[in-house]
């Protein structure tokens, strides 16, 4: 049987939980299979990405922002330097999450590979 290509993983505008009505949002894209595999090596004992993993995840998957209180145009490096740690973790976690299949899709892929 032919190998099936990954499909159905699309980018999104992610809006982390925030106070107030004037909320920021972030354009994120899923990781490629190779990027995802690379980042698995950066998961620590508590099941979260380590610092290097967060940076790599953001560099790979953070593409834009909207309504962020800065006069600087978007750049991943500005985001990494300027966003509070809480949001760096939330955004990188969401990128990692949208880059993987849910359990049902994984089961289907496993059964196809047998």
Give Cα 73 to chain centroid, integer Å: 20
Q: Identify whether 39 is part of a domain.
A: yes
Q: Identify whether 14 is part of a domain.
A: no
Integer angstrom CA distances of residue 87 from 101, 103, 106: 23, 26, 29
Q: Identify whether 7 is part of a domain.
A: no
Residue 31 near residue 57, CB atoms below 8 Å: yes
pTM tops 0.75: yes
Six-digit token pair at 48?
A: 């979260």
Q: How many domains does the chain have?
A: 1
Q: Identify whether 104 is part of a domain.
A: yes
What tens digit of pLDDT does each residue of 15-34 get? 999 888 889 999 999 999 89
Q: Identify whether 79 is part of a domain.
A: yes
Separation between Cα atoms, residue 77 and residue 35, nearest integer Å:
18
Domain that holds residue 70: 24-113
pLDDT at 103: 45
Q: Identify whether 37 is part of a domain.
A: yes
Residue 65 near residue 80, CB atoms below 8 Å: no
What tens digit of pLDDT does each residue of 58-101 get? 999 999 999 998 777 899 999 999 999 999 999 999 999 888 76
Q: Identify whether 17 is part of a domain.
A: no
């Amino acid at each position: 049987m032919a190998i099936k290509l990954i499909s159905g993983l699309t980018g999104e505008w992610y809006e982390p939980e925030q106070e107030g009505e004037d909320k920021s949002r972030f354009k994120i894209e899923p990781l490629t299979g190779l990027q995802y595999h690379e980042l698995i090596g950066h998961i620590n004992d508590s099941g979260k990405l380590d610092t290097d993993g967060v940076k790599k995840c953001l560099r790979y998957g953070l593409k834009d922002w909207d309504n962020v209180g800065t006069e600087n145009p978007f750049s991943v490096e500005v985001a990494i330097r300027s966003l509070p740690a809480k949001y760096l973790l939330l955004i990188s976690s969401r990128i990692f999450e949208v880059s993987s299949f849910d359990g049902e899709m994984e089961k289907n892929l496993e059964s196809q590979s047998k």
